[in-house]
Every structure is written in structure tokens, then in C-alpha cells.
Amino acid sequence: MQQVYFDNAATTQLRSEVITAMVEVMNNNYGNASSSHSFGRSSKSLIEKTRKAVASYLNVSAGEIIFTSGGTEADNLILQSAVRDLKVTHIITSKIEHHAVLHTIEQLVKDYKLVVSYVDLKPNGKIDYLHLETLLKREAKTLVSLMHINNEIGNILNIKKVADLCKANDALFHTDAVQSVGHYNLDLQDVKVDFLAAAAHKFHGPKGVGFAFIRRNSALKPSILGGEQERGLRAGTESVHNIVGMEMALKCAYQNLEKETEYIKNLKQYFISSIEKNIPNATFNGKSGNLEKSTYTLVNVCLPIPPKKAAMLLFQLDLKGIACSKGSACQSGSNQNSHVLTEILSENDLQKPSIRFSFSIYNTKEEIDYVVGVLKAFVE
């Protein structure tokens, strides 16, 4: 039995360079970065060197990068403080955001006098920009929270357009960029987002570390209290080896971006063509079947299988050594339909199984042949 990993949108394999960098730090730089002795200063120096490097990839200043435990913490920090400390009373979001955003907003509604507006979606899951512009006219302190790349269907938000709309209407803009940092060039001097969240394990870095971009003078306050680490915005002893590992992963990603993007894009095109050839009644959810209008890293396919048989699909794929997701990894253990697909699919299509396959540099066309062969046999 082959072992095939097509769940890279959930998490990725560590690069060997990242492992080497992390092991070196764990062996030699184990001091607490808040300590004043030489061991502590050595760790602190590594953290600040990494902060400058991460900032350089986004074309921002080092002081605007706050290290966190990942994208979820970064989203929570930004949203909670925006409402609590910046007195945001109106949030505009969509119903297909990551639950790190949606559940945080649900809790904020319970705790504060907060109005939430959900921007309309086109049938393919695309944001209705005209409706967004209308919502921005509301007389209130407003924050827009829309993800750059949808983690289930791969739709790409025009974040520059949204950022410009927000600036024109005196609104703040937060984007969850977990699926795009390390996969796309982002110049935050050109794209005027106020806040951004990222996670290292989505671009071949370690789990348990990410960062928040918080534009200078935003006046956010911490959600985790204790020490003065991370400019006072995130208390807790820094995980130096993880932080250095994340920077190495970003360095490798951006040094090889053009070559690796082309390689993965070819894999996705090959997968789409193979599905269309072997399972002609399959469809692609959102814009994921369109290479120009979705991320090159994933595809979400709806298979022509009746409901009773569909319930066994993921189990059968797992038995064949194939790792993939029916939605985001956060929902893969649930029997409920994906909240994203529920918003954009017909009742008929929701009865069919939809599977997300996501690719990386470690995948091959031979693996795709194997997966498509297994899918074809199951459908038939």
C-alpha cells in the first residue's frame, strides 16, 4: 500500500533545512530570551534577527511583527483587541471564514454591543464587492475581517481592493493569510491591510508558531497577560527554536517561490485533468477547478457518489494510505457538512462527498495517478 499525503492545507512536512536550524538552536541557544545573562541575550538576538527577516518578506518594519503560537491566536488577538480596545462596534465578515474568526466573532457578540454584517457571496463563493462597499457605508467604527485564500475551496480575495475600500471608508481591515503567506508575495506597503495572521506549519515550518502583523500605531492591547514579551502584546517565554524554524521555512519558501509554484501548479493542473478524464461527472467546488482564479495549492472536488456510499469514502481512502480532508482539518472529525460548502452548494450537491486535496513540493504525478485510480474504482 502506498502512503500519499494530499492534506497540505491542513499542515505540511518540515523542510530538512528547518529541522537543521531548529536542532542547532535547541542544542546551543536554550537560554530564556528575557534573561539578562549571555545565554538569554543569545536567544533574544536570534528572535530579533528573525523578526527583521520575517518583516522583510512582507516589506514592513520589525516592530510590526508579533510572534504567536499560530494563526488562531493571531486572529483572536487582533479581533478581541479591536473590539475591546479600539472600540470597534461593527464587524464585516463572511460566512465562509475560518472558525478561528467566526467563533471569535460569535463570542465577541455575546460579550460586547457588537453588530456583525455578513457580506453576500456569489454562487461560487466569491465575495460580492459591491455589497461590501454598501456595508462599509454604515455609521460605526468598523473592522472588516476577510481571509486572503479560503482554506477549503481556494478562492482568492482581492485584498488590495478590499484594503482600498476600507481606507476610503475609514474602516480597519484584518485578513487571515494563513493559506497565502509563504505561497504568495505580499507587499504590505502596497496592500494596506491593518492586521494579518499567519502560521508556520502551512509553509513547511514547525507547528505551534506563527505571527500577527499589526500595523504601527494601531493601539492593540494584549489578550495574554503575564510578561512584557513581544512588545508587551503577547506574554510568555518565546519558543526560540520554533521562531527560528519559521524564519528558515519562510526563507526557503521565498527563495524558491517561482520554481516551486510552477511545480505545484502543474500538479494541480494534472490532477484536474485526470479527474475530468476518469470521473467525468465530478465537479470542482468554488473556483478551485480554475487555476487562474484559485490558489495553486488545493482543489476541492465533489464526486458523483450516492449518500450511503459517500459515508465510507474517507475511510476507504485512509485504508488505501491516502490522506486528504472533507473540509478543513478542524472539521475532519465531524459528521457535519463543511460550513463553507453549506453556503455555496445546492442541497443535491451537499448529499455528495466533497474532498479537499492539497499539494506541496513533496508530491508527484505518480501519486496523483494512484489517488485518481482509487477514486475512479470507488465511484464505479
DSSP 70-84: SHHHHHHHHHHHHHH
All 3 cell numbers of residue 88?
A: 470597534
CB atoms within 10 A of CB 205: 30
324 a catalytic residue:
no
Q: Which residue has the cell 539578562?
A: 36
Q: Could you say which of 166, 302, 324, 330 is catalytic?
A: 330
In terms of Cα–Cα distance, which of 355, 81, 44 is closest to 228?
A: 44
Beta strands (DSSP E) in the chain are: 4-5, 65-68, 90-93, 115-118, 142-145, 172-176, 195-199, 210-214, 283-284, 298-302, 322-323, 354-358
Within 10 A of 31 (CB to CB), how many other CB atoms are there? Answer: 17
List the one residue out of 157, 163, 192, 161 whose CA is nearest residue 177. Answer: 157
Question: Do residues 298 and 358 make contact, with C-beta atoms less than 8 angstroms apart?
Answer: yes
**Catalytic (active-site) positions:** 330
